[in-house]
Structure 1
Amino acid sequence: MKHDGIVAPTVQIQPKELSIHGHTRIDNYYWLNERENPEVLAYLNAENDYLNQVMAPIKSFEETLFEEMKSRIKKQDESVPVKEGNYYYYARFIEGGEYPIYCRKKESLDAPEEILLDGNKLGKGKSYFNMGGYEITDNEEIMAYGVDTVSRRNYTVRFKNLHTGKLYKEQIKNTEGGSYAWASDNKTFFYIRRDQQTLLGYQVWRHILGTEVKSDELVYEEKDNQFYMGLYRMKSKKYIAIGCDHNGVSTEYRLLEATKPMGEFKVFSERARGHEYSIEHFQDKFYIKTNREGAINFQLMEVKEKQVADQTKWKVVIPHRKEVLLESIEVFENHLVLQERKEGLTQLRVINQNTKKEHYVDFGEPTYDAYIGTNPEFNTNILRFIYTSMTTPGSTFDYNLDTQIKDLKKEQAVIGDFNKNNYVSERVFVIARDGAKIPLSIVYKKSTQLDGKAPLLQYSYGSYGYSTDATFSSVRLSLLDRGFIYAIAHIRGGQEMGREWYDNGKMFKKINTFNDFIDCSEFLINNQYCSPNKLFAMGGSAGGLLMGAIINMKPELYRGIVASVPFVDVVTTMLDESIPLTTGEFEEWGNPKNRDAYEYMLSYSPYDNVSKKAYPNLLVTTGLHDSQVQYFEPAKWVAKLRTLKTDSNLLLMYIDMEAGHGGASGRFASLKLMAKEYAFIIDLADILG
C-alpha cells in the first residue's frame, strides 16, 4: 500500500485545559467527543475515505480474504442439543443466514422441530442485530428474549407464547441482556434495567406477564456504581439470584425463592471489601467458592441452607492451593466437577461424592483450552465440556464421569482442505525482566521455517483477570497458510497463572503488562521466530491500550500494529464518571482523583504519551456506537499521532458508523473487518496472494 499523494484528514485543533492535582494537560482534540457535531461526523467519514483510498490497491485481496474466511464456515450448521426439562434445545444456521435460528424438540431428537425464534427474520433490514439471551418458563410455554438493534447493549425484552406463536404486547426497553429470570408461577418475570447515562445495570424490576410495563415494581437498586449486577435462576431452580460484583474487590448475592415471587430478596453474605464469592445451590445446601481466610486462588466450602448466615458453619470441601486457581464448579447428583487452572492451563477435576475418588480429564496437547459446557440436569453421570486448541477446532464432548470415556458429539467443521496434522503448537515460558515466567502459546504450519524470516502476529489482552486461552480460529488459517506464525502472550493482568498473576498486572503494577508483552516480543526475535521487520501485534479494547503503550515504549520492535476499539485515553476517561463503565473500573486502573493514581496512569496512558518519534504502521478500528470504549478515544489518538509522528508509515483508522464495541453483527458480516485487518498485515509482510 502506498499513500504518497493521498492527503490524510486534518483535524481542527481546539486546545482544552484539563487541570487536577496542580497539573495541567492540554487536549487539542477533546471536542471530538461531540457525537452529534456535523464536523465530528465529517472527520470520521473523512478517515474512512482516506483508509479506502490507501487500501484501494489491495481491495481485491481483502475481498479474496473475506471469501476465503467465509468459505471455511459451514453454511448449514447446528449446535449440539442440550436437554432441559422435556425438551432438547439447539440453534442452527441456514445457508446464507447471518443469524441463528433457535429451536427445540420434545423428548426425542427424532421429534418434530419447533422454531422458537428465527434470527434472520428478526434481523432482516436492520444494520445491526443481536440477541441478548432467552429464558423459558417452567411450564415450557412462554419465552422471554432480548434484542439490541443499535449496538449499545440496551436490550428490549419481548415475550412469546410458544404454543400459539403470538407475541405479548408489552416491551421492556433498556434492559441488561441475558440477565432475566422467571419465577415458578410462569408469569412473574425479573429483569435488570440499565442507567442510560452510565449504561450500568442498576435496578432489578418485577414484571407480571400481560400487564403494563409502567406498573412494574422496583425490587432492588444498587446504590454503589462501582458494582456490576447480574440476575439469573439457579440450576436447582429453587432460587432467583441477584449477583453484585465489584471486580476484584467484593461480591454480594441476594436470593429469592422462585415459588415466592412477591417476596423480598435476602442477602446471602453481606459485601465486605476483600471477600469475593460465588454460590451454587444443591439439595439442602450451598457450595461457596470463596477467597475467605486468605485463599487468594479460592477454596470451596459448603453450608446447610438454614445455616448460611453463620459463617462458622461454612465447611471446607476443597482447601486453598497456592499453585492452583479454582475457577468454577459444576454439581451433579453423585459427582462434583471443578474447573481449575494450573501453570496457565485449565484442568477438569472430577470427584465422586460417594467414594471420594477423583481424577483429571486427560487432554493430551501441550497448549489448549477446556471448559465446562451447559449442564442443566443434576441427575446424570454425563458432563458436557468443550475442548479446543490452536490446532483443534472447538469440540463438544459428553464425558462419562464413572467410566471416564469421552464421546465426541461434534467438532466444529472447517470446510476445505484443512488438516490439523499440518500444524504444530508449542508452549514455552519467557523469563520476564523481573524474573516472572510468562507462558507463550505458539502455532504455525509445519512447513514454516523457524529461521527468523517468517512474519509473526503476537496477540494479547492482559486485563480484568481475563485469561486469553490457546483456542482454535479458522480465520487465523489465512495467516498460517501464508507462512505466518501466531503467538499468544499470557501476560500479567490476565489470570492464567492464578490470582496473583492478575493482581500483579493491575492498578500500580499495570506496567508489568506492557513489559511482559515487550519481553515476549524480544524472546520471539531472539529465538529466531521472527525479526522486527516481520513482527506484528494486535489487541482490542484493554488490549488496544496494550498496543498503544508498547508502541510508545518500544516502537522499533514492530512492523505493524492493529489496535481494535482501543482504550487509549486512560486518564481523561477515568476522570469522567459520566462516561459508561468508568466507576466500575477504579479497582482495575485506579481513581485519578487520587494524586498517586493520576500520576501512575499518566505515565503509561497511550494518548498522553504520544511524542515526536517514529511509530510502526498502524491500523485503528472503532465503532460510533461503542458503549465500552467511546469512539472519540481512538479518534483523538489518531489525530494526535498524525501531528507528532516523524515517520512515513501508514496510519489508518476505520470507523464502523453502524456498530459498537463488538463490531458488525452476523456470522459473515463480522468477518469483513477481520479481512481488512489481515489484509493490512499481510500486505506489510510482502506476501500478498
Structure 2
Amino acid sequence: MTHSPDSVLSALAQAAAAATAPVARKEPVTRERHGDVFTDNYEWMRAKESPEVRAHLDAENAYTDEVAAPLAGLREDIFAEIKERTRETDLSVPARRNGYWYFTRTVEGEQYGVRCRVRAQDTGDVLADWTPPVIEPGVPVEGEEVILDGNALAKGLPFFALGGLDVSEDGRWLAYSVDAAGDERYTVRIKDLSSGELLPDEIPGTSAGLALAPDASAVFYILPDESWRPYRLYRHVIGSEGPDELLFEETDEGMWTDFGISGDKRELVIDVGNSEVSEILTLPLGDPEARPRVVVSREQRLLASADPILAQGRPAYLITHNRHGGNNAVALVLAEELEKPFAEQRWIPVVAHRDDVKVDGAGATAAWVLVSQRENTAPGFVVFPRADIEALASSGLDTDDDAPDLAPIRPEFREEIRAVSAGSSYEAPFLTLNYVSFVTPQRVLLFDPATGQQTVLKDTEVPVADLTQYEAIRDWAVAQDGTRIPLSIVKRKDTPKDGTAPAVVYGYGSYEASMDPRFSVARLSLLDRGVVWVVAHIRGGGELGRAWYENGKKLAKKNTFTDYVDATRHVAAAGWADASRIAAWGGSAGGLLMGAVTNMAPELYKAVVAQVPFVDALTTILDPALPLSALEWEEWGNPITDPEVYAYMKSYTPYENVRPASYPAIAAVTSLNDTRVLYVEPAKWVQVLRANQEGPAPIVLKTEMDGGHGGASGRYEGWKDFAWDAAWTLGHLGATERVG
C-alpha cells in the first residue's frame, strides 16, 4: 500500500489539531531535600488501583488512538512485512542434555513456543552422537515429546511469560515458573514428564530463576522482598507440604541475589552484589546438611564471578575478578586456599588483565574452558583445553605478572561488527556458537576447538528479503570532551550518504549494558523506507570496557546524554542523515536518556519513542520502598544521603527539567504492570511536557494495560508493538513509502 509522506504528515497534523489531550488535575505535593523544594502536581497518579487513575490512562489511550489514527494503514503494512519475513513455523537447533535432544517449535498462528524433546542415540561415533538430528519445522519426529506448550499455558491469561525452566538430570521432572500479569511475580510448578501430570506443589510470588537439584529431590528458587529485590534463597523438597528450607538471606537492601548450579552439578553457586561489589558463596549439593560458604567476600570490595571446577581431582574455582583492573582477569583458585586469609590465598593467573579487552566471565565444560570477552566493542570468546588449565594447579604461578603462556583458541569471522557467544552442555565434546550481526540473522554453528572446524547447524531464514542489500558500518563521533564515540550505522546499500536520508538514533548507556549487534526482521521495514538506523554506543554502557561504564554513571552521568547529542549532530554533519529528519529511540534507562536529550536539545529531533521511560528517576530513587529503588544507588548515586548527588540528579532528571520549548512528536510507551519502571513516571512526564509544548507536535501516552516491562506478551503482540513505534516514527519523519 502507498502512503504519501506529505498526505500522512498532513493527516497527522490535522488529527493532532482536532484531538483534545486529557488534562490531569493538579494536586500539589511538596518535596523538601537538602534545602531544595520541589512541587509535584501529579504524584497522586501513583495510586494504581484508583478508578480516577484508570480512567485517565484509558483517556490517554483514546487520545493516542485518535492522534495516531492516520498511521493505521502503515502499522498494518509493517506488521504484514514482519510476518511475511518470518518463518512462523520453525524450530530451534536441538541441544543435547542427559540423553535427550531438547528444542523449541514455533507454529504459525501461535503466540508462544512449544518445548519438545526426543531421545538421543549413543553409537560410539562422537561426531555423529553430538551432531543435532535433522528435524523439520512442523513435522513431528518419532518418539517426540511435548514437555511444555506455552500456548496451552497462556490460554485465558491476559499475559504470559516463563520465568524459569529446568529438567531433572534423570529426565523425569520439569520445573517451570509463569508470570500471568506482567509484574514479574512468578508461580513455580512441577510436572511429571513420565505421566504429563502436574504435581500439587505450587510456589507463588517468586523471582524469575529456578533450578532442580541434580538428584531430582528438590527445586531451588528465590523470593523477593517488598521492593522486589531478590533476597531469599529456598530449597523446596518435591512433594513436601512443610515449610521450605531457607538457605540464604541477603539483608543489605543495596545487594541483589542470584544463583545457579555448576556445570559439573557439584555445587550451587550464590551470587550477591550490585554494579560495584560482589560476594560469591557455594553450597555443596551432595550434603543436605551443608551450608553456604564464602568463596569471595564482599569485604574485599571486588567484582567477581566463579565457576566450580575439579583441577587434577582437587576442588577449585575459575574466578573472574577485578583485583588487577576494571577489565577483569581470570584466576584458578584451589578450594583449600579459601581457608587462608585473603592476602595469603594463591590465585593462579589464567588470563591477565588488559586495558583493551574486557573479560566478562569464564566457565568450564568437561573438555574446555571458555572465557567470554569484549574487544573493539564486539563480544566474543576464547577457548583453552581444560587439561591445560587444570595443569596450572601444580604450577608455580601465583601472581598476575606470571601469566601463563597459554595459546587461546578462537574461531575467525569476516564481519567486523558482530556478536558471538559460545555454550554447550557440560559433557559435550564440541561447542555450540551463536553468531549474529546487524545484517546477518542468527547462525548456529558447531565448533570443534581441537580442529578449528565450524559446521553450520542453522541459518535463520528470512523469506522474501535479499539481505545482501543491507550493510553495517562503523563510524565514530567526537564528544564535547574529545572522547571518540563508536556508532553502528545500519542501512540499505542504496541509501545515499548525502544528507537526505531520515534516521533513527538508538541509545541506552546505563548499567554497563552493551548494545551489541543483533539482527531484526522488524528493523528491515524501517531500512526499506530509506531510514538509516544508528546505534550510539555512548558512555554508561560497556562496549569499551569498565572505564566506558564508569565515565557514564553517578556524577559522570551527563556524559551519557551529551554523548548521544553529539552522536546525533555527527550523524547529520557526516551526511548520514538529514538534520531535520532524525528520530530518537530508547527504553527504560534509555527512556531517561530520551527525556534528558529532548530537554537539552529538542530541536535535534523530529520524533521520539520513549519506551517504558525512567523519566522520574529522582522521585523513584528517593523512595527505597519503591520496587528496586535501593539497588539504583550504585548506578546513579544516593540522593537521600548525599546532597551533591541530589543536586546533580535534579539537574538532569527529565520530569523536573521540562522547560518551555518546541518539543518533537513524543510517544511515551508504558505498561500498567511494569515493576521496573512504573507507569506513573511517563504519565506524569507527559502532563508536564504538554503544558510546556510551544510547538504543534503531539505528545502521547500509550499504556499497555496487561503488559510488563517488555510490553505485551506473545510474538504477534510484540510485532504489533514494534509496528506502532515504527509507524509513529516514519509518519513524522515523512518516510512512509518503501524505497526498496
Scaled by the length of structure 1, the TM-score of the pair is 0.97
Q: 1:379 to 1:100 in 2, by over 3 A?
A: closer
Say whether 1:336 aligns with 2:376. no
Equivalent in the alignment of 1:162: 193
SS at match of 2:147: strand
Contact 2:491 2:527 in 1 (8 A): yes
> How far has the Cα of 1:379 moved from its partner?
5.2
Using the TM superposition, give the Cα deviation of residue 581 of structure 1 relative to its aligned residue in structure 2, in angstroms.
0.6
- The equivalent of 1:238 in structure 2 is 266
Question: Aligned partners of 1:519 and 1:166: how far apart in 2?
Answer: 58
Which of 483, 496, 499 in structure 2 is aligned with 1:449?
496
Q: Is the 8 A contact 2:541 2:548 kept in 1?
A: yes
* Aligned position for 1:363: 413
Of residues 634, 656, 668, the one that matches 2:716 is 668
Tell whether the 8 Å contact from 2:281 to 2:294 is kept in structure 1 after alignment: yes
- Report the Cα offset of residue 281 of structure 1: 1.5
CA contact 2:668–2:702 (8 Å) conserved in 1: yes
Q: In structure 2, the residue corresponding to 1:679 is in which secondary structure?
A: helix
Q: Which residue of 1 aligns with 2:442?
A: 394
Q: Distance in 1 between matches of 2:548 and 2:316?
A: 29
Q: Identify which of 327, 333, 349 aligns with 2:360.
A: 327
Match of 1:29 among 17, 31, 42: 42
Aligned-pair CA distance for 1:239: 0.5
Identify which of 611, 628, 647 aligns with 1:581: 628
> Which residue pairs with 2:230 in the alignment?
201
| Aligned partners of 1:250 and 1:271 also within 8 Å | yes
Give the Å deviation of 1:353. Answer: 4.7
Whole-angstrom distance in 1 between the partners of 2:266 and 2:506? 43
* Of 168, 173, 182, the match for 2:212: 182
The 1-side partners of 2:55 and 2:694 are apart by 26
Decide whether aligned partners of structure 1 residues 554 and 49 sit closer, same or farther in structure 2, where only a CA change above 3 A counts: same
Residue type at the aligned position of 1:630:
L
Post-superposition offset of 1:277: 0.7
Q: Does 1:89 align with 2:89?
A: no
Aligned-partner SS, 1:4: helix
Where does 1:180-579 land on structure 2 (aligned, <5 Å)? 180-195=210-225, 197-212=226-241, 214-247=242-275, 249-272=276-299, 274-283=301-310, 284-310=314-340, 311=342, 312-353=345-386, 356-373=406-423, 375-378=424-427, 380=429, 382-416=430-464, 418-579=465-626
Please tell me whether the aligned partners of residues 15 and 26 of structure 1 are also in contact (alpha carbons under 8 angstroms): yes
**Distance between the aligned counterparts of 2:409 and 2:88, measured in 1?**
39
TM-superposed deviation, 1:436? 1.3
Q: What SS does the aligned partner of 2:534 have?
A: strand
Counterparts of 1:469 and 1:290, CA distance in 2: 21
Of the structure 1 ranges 83-92 and 337-346, higher mean CA displacement relative to structure 2 is found in 337-346
- Say whether the 8 Å CA contact 1:290–1:299 is kept in structure 2: yes
Between stretches 90-99 and 504-513, larger displacement belongs to: 90-99
Structure 2 CA distance for aligned equivalents of residues 484 and 48 of structure 1: 28
Query: Is contact 1:279-1:286 (8 Å) kept?
Result: no
One-letter identity of the residue aligned with 1:530: A
Q: Secondary structure at the match of 2:54?
A: helix
Change in Cα spacing, 1:253 to 1:78, as seen in structure 2 (3 Å) is: same
Return the letter of the residue paired with 2:425.
P
- 1:252 and 1:461 mapped to 2: Cα distance? 27
Residues 36-82 of structure 1 show CA distances to partners (whole Å, capped at 9, x for unaligned) of 11111111111100011111122122122112212222111111111
> What does residue range 648-659 of structure 1 map to in structure 2 within 5 Å?
648-659=696-707
User: Could you say which residue in structure 2 is the equivalent of 1:642?
Assistant: 690
Aligned counterparts of 1:379 and 1:215: Cα–Cα separation in 2? 38
Same amino acid, percent of matched pairs: 35
Amino acid at match of 1:202: Y
Q: Distance in 2 between matches of 1:281 and 1:398?
A: 25
Q: Deviations over 1:231-256 (max 9, x none)?
A: 21111100012211222x11112211
TM-score (norm 2): 0.90
SS at match of 1:601: helix
| Displacement after TM superposition at 1:443 (Å) | 1.0
Alignment partners' CA distance in 1, 2:724 and 2:166: 37
- Note if contact 2:206-2:221 (Cα within 8 Å) is conserved in structure 1: yes
Native 8 Å contact 1:325 1:498 kept in 2? yes
Structure 1 residues 657 and 379: alpha-carbon distance in aligned structure 2, compared to 1, 3 A threshold: closer
Give the CA deviation at 1:347.
Answer: 3.0
SS of 1:438's equivalent in the other structure is: strand
Q: Flag the 1:266–1:274 CA change in 2: closer, same or farther, 3 A.
A: closer
2:81 is aligned with 1:58: no
1:160-199 deviations in whole A, cap 9, x for unaligned?
1010111111210011112x2222332122211122x211
> In 2, are the aligned partners of 1:504 and 1:512 still within 8 Å (CA)?
yes
Q: Equivalents in 2 of 1:645, 1:517: separation in Å? A: 22
Q: Which residue of 1 aligns with 2:164?
A: 133
Q: Give the 3 Å change call, closer, same or farther, for CA 638–236 of structure 1 in structure 2.
A: same
**Aligned CA-pair RMSD:** 1.5
Closer, same or farther in 2 for the Cα pair 1:273/1:10, shift >3 Å? farther
Letter in 2 for 1:325: K
- Does the aligned pair in 2 maintain the 1:188–1:261 contact within 8 Å? no
Count matched residues.
682
| 1:602 and 2:650 matched | yes
Contact 1:277 1:288 in 2 (8 A): no
Aligned mates of 2:447, 2:598 — CA distance in 1: 46
Q: Partner of 1:682 in structure 2?
A: 730
Q: Measure, in 2, the Cα distance between the counterparts of 1:474 and 1:176.
A: 31
SS in 2 for 1:669: helix
Residue 631 of structure 1 aligns to which amino acid in structure 2?
Y
| In structure 1, distance between residues paired with 2:652 and 2:698 | 23
What are the Cα deviations for residues 551-589 of structure 1, in whole angstroms up to 9, with x where unaligned? 111111111110000001111111011110100110100
Determine the C-alpha separation between the residues in 2 that align with 1:288 and 1:437.
34
Retained in 2: the 8 A contact 1:331–1:378? Answer: no
Secondary structure of 1:280 counterpart = strand
Secondary structure, in 3 states, of the residue corresponding to 1:532?
A: coil
**In 2, distance between residues paired with 1:216 and 1:291?**
33
Compared CA separation, residues 131 and 353, structure 1 to 2 (3 A): closer
Separation of aligned partners in 2, 1:237 and 1:198: 32
Deviation readout 1:295-314 (Å, 9 max, x if unpaired):
21100000223323334222
**Superposed displacement of residue 423, structure 1:** 0.8
Gaps of at least 5 residues in structure 2 are 1-11, 122-132, 134-140, 389-405
Contact 1:308/1:314 (8 A) holds in 2:
no
Show the counterpart of 2:144: 113
1:124 to 151, 155, 170: 155
Q: Displacement, 1:688?
A: 2.2
- 1:77 maps to amino acid: D
Q: Using the TM superposition, give the Cα deviation of residue 111 of structure 1 relative to its aligned residue in structure 2, in angstroms.
A: 5.3
C-alpha displacement of 1:105: 1.1
- Give the counterpart letter for 2:630 in structure 1: T
Classify the secondary structure of the residue corresponding to 2:447. strand
Is 2:118 aligned against 1:69?
A: no
1:313-342 Cα distance to aligned partner (Å, 9 max, x none): 221111111111001224234432222112
AA matched with 2:525: S
